[in-house]
Amino acid sequence: MNQMTNSHILVNEFDYLEPASLDEAIALLKQYGDRAQVAAGGTNLVIWMKMEQCAPAYVINVGKLPGLTGLSFQDEGLRVGPLTTIRALRNAPRVQATYTGLAEACAAFGSAQIQMMGTVGGNVCNGSPASDTVPALLAFDAQLTLTGPAGKRNLPIADFLLGPGQTALQPDELLTGIHLPQPQPGTGSAFVKISRVAADLAKASAAAVIVRRGDEIVACRLAFGSVSPTVLRAHRAEQLLAGQTFSAELALEAGQVASEEVTPIDDVRSTARYRRQVIRALTHDVLQLAWERAGSQAQDSEVEKPKTPPTTAPGHQGVLAKTLHVAHGETHEIELTVNGRRHRLAVRPNELLLNVLRERLGLTGSKYGCGLGECGACTVHLDGQPALACLVLAVAADGREVLTVEGLQGPNGELSPLQQAFIEHNAFQCGYCTPGMLMMTQKLLEEIPAPSEDDVRDYLKGNRCRCTGFASIVRAVLSAGRPVDR
């Protein structure tokens, strides 16, 4: 890490722009070119800016643009709006049933907070070989729609990926659609990932889509992440599998071939040697899973279709009547409702929600830990969804409802049942992580009133505690959940 990095603040000054329409967003991109950076969920961009890896003069927040969020299931396949959050994709029953490998990739992704903030479009456009949704999208042969001043163009995701951090996206273009073809009958898919800890980028990942007829592999697409300059397909391994009778030995053989096709490097997460070795095992595992599902998976026609598609991507409401432009160094008045109280505040484009809450509103319950989205200590709720306040631009939170740990207590200052459970189970020592733990598990209990231990641990995979250990925290949350027959 750059020694000058101060992850508490955003050092860089920039103009903040919120376009009111797609056309205006494109016009702004055309005007400012590579001096501008697009922000969707901001989970990559804000970190790059904090780490001083990029210093855009203009930040164009497309996160509130209408029409770019949500899932639409059609006869010819699935259309995904690029602003759809990773969490919304993961939780959509029809994605889980029909595009299982993609739902699995989203579930394997970072922390619950990052899944709730990060978008699938941001994951694709950042061009990282470690992007978790990309192997699954490549294995499903996704087509991307890019929109620029000259209109729309479509290209396969394979042609979009050019190198680490490099894509075919032009500076004046936006990703405006992702289309996954309807899988053939007898299709099964899977995604597997190996990482240093649960909430980390992949050391290596693999996605497979298999079409099965009886014992025969009719066709197979295999894609790998974190083992080459871009996410890539293993064409030779695919050819070895096509038309063959499936067996564990064949899957291992395909793994050997795939491990010769990838070109991994040594980096902070792993060594090239380990990555090449592990690809053999990951290939076997992902093929086995996809194969079993191809034999048993409900076809799309059998999956219960909700009347309205599951399109929830929280926090992307509030379309503007006209483009907002706040010049660097200037302030813009925002309205925040925090724990039920309205506040009007003048904020600069590079102020962060966490600093506003702590330093300007005196709400010091939300903690600054890492400043980089990794510890969860700053977790608050934004319009009811957990969000990492250290990664949220205050100006982008205009008009939104914020709940901090101070807002969990009742009207007379009484602690919530969850807070009481933390005390009863000695679920903290220094208490620094506790506000973030409470905000996450409060939401968990709203979503799953009687969670399992796995649910609690999965929800807390992005929250760090350096002194208590997780056992008593998990016990506290389970005891605060609704009693069920376990």
Ligand X SMILES: Cc1cc2nc3c(=O)[nH]c(=O)nc-3n(C[C@H](O)[C@H](O)[C@H](O)COP(=O)(O)OP(=O)(O)OC[C@H]3O[C@@H](n4cnc5c(N)ncnc54)[C@H](O)[C@@H]3O)c2cc1C
Residues that bind ligand X (CB under 6 A): 37-45, 47, 62, 82, 86, 109-110, 114, 117-119, 121-123, 125-126, 130-132, 169, 174-175, 201, 373-374
Minimal CA–CA distance to 368: which of 46, 360, 458, 359?
A: 359
- Secondary structure class of 224 (helix, strand, coil): strand
Distance in Å, CB of 251 to ligand X, minimum: 25
User: Would you list the DSSP string of 46-101?
Assistant: HHHHHTTS---SEEEE-TT-TTSSSEEEETTEEEE-TT-BHHHHHH-HHHHHHSHH
What the block records as the tokens of 448 is: 């799953």
Distance in Å, CB of 134 to ligand X, minimum: 8
Cβ neighbours for 259, distance < 8 A, ≥ 6 positions apart:
276, 277, 279, 280, 283
Judged by beta carbon, residue 70 or residue 376, the one nearer ligand FES is 376
CA 374 to chain centre: 13
* Part in contact with ligand FES (CB under 6 A); list of ranges 63-71, 167-175, 311-319, 461-469: 461-469
Distance in Å, CB of 253 to ligand X, minimum: 29
Cα pseudo-dihedral 447, 453, 454, 458, rounded to 10: 60
Judged by beta carbon, residue 169 or residue 408, the one nearer ligand X is 169
Decide which of ligand X, ligand FES, none touches 169; Cβ closer than 5 to 8 Å per partner kind.
ligand X
Distance in Å, CB of 298 to ligand X, minimum: 27
374, amino acid identity: E
Decide which of ligand FES, ligand X, none touches 56; Cβ closer than 5 to 8 Å per partner kind.
none
- Sort 23 into a burial class: Cβ within 10 Å, 0-12 / 13-18 / 19+: exposed
Decide which of ligand FES, ligand X, none touches 175; Cβ closer than 5 to 8 Å per partner kind.
ligand X
CA 89 to chain centre: 9
- Secondary structure class of 231 (helix, strand, coil): coil
Decide which of ligand FES, ligand X, none touches 145; Cβ closer than 5 to 8 Å per partner kind.
none
Decide which of ligand X, ligand FES, none touches 315; Cβ closer than 5 to 8 Å per partner kind.
none
Write the interaction track for ligand FES spanning residues 307-326; mark x where CB under 6 A is met and - where it is not. --------------------
Distance in Å, CB of 293 to ligand FES, minimum: 35
209 binds ligand FES (CB under 6 A): no
132: part of which helix (H) or strand (E)?
none
User: Would you list the DSSP string of 136-161?
Assistant: HHHHTT-EEEEEETTEEEEEEHHHHE
CA 29 to chain centre: 24
Q: Using CB positions, name the residue nearest to ligand X.
A: 122
Decide which of ligand FES, ligand X, none touches 430; Cβ closer than 5 to 8 Å per partner kind.
ligand FES
223: part of which helix (H) or strand (E)?
strand 216-225
183: part of which helix (H) or strand (E)?
none
Distance in Å, CB of 243 to ligand FES, minimum: 49
Interacting residues with ligand FES between 368 and 387 (CB under 6 A):
368-371, 373-378
Q: Which of 29, 62, 254, 388 binds ligand FES (CB under 6 A)?
A: 388
Decide which of ligand X, ligand FES, none touches 194; Cβ closer than 5 to 8 Å per partner kind.
none
Would you tell me which residues interact with ligand FES (CB under 6 A)? 368-371, 373-378, 388, 390, 428-433, 465-468
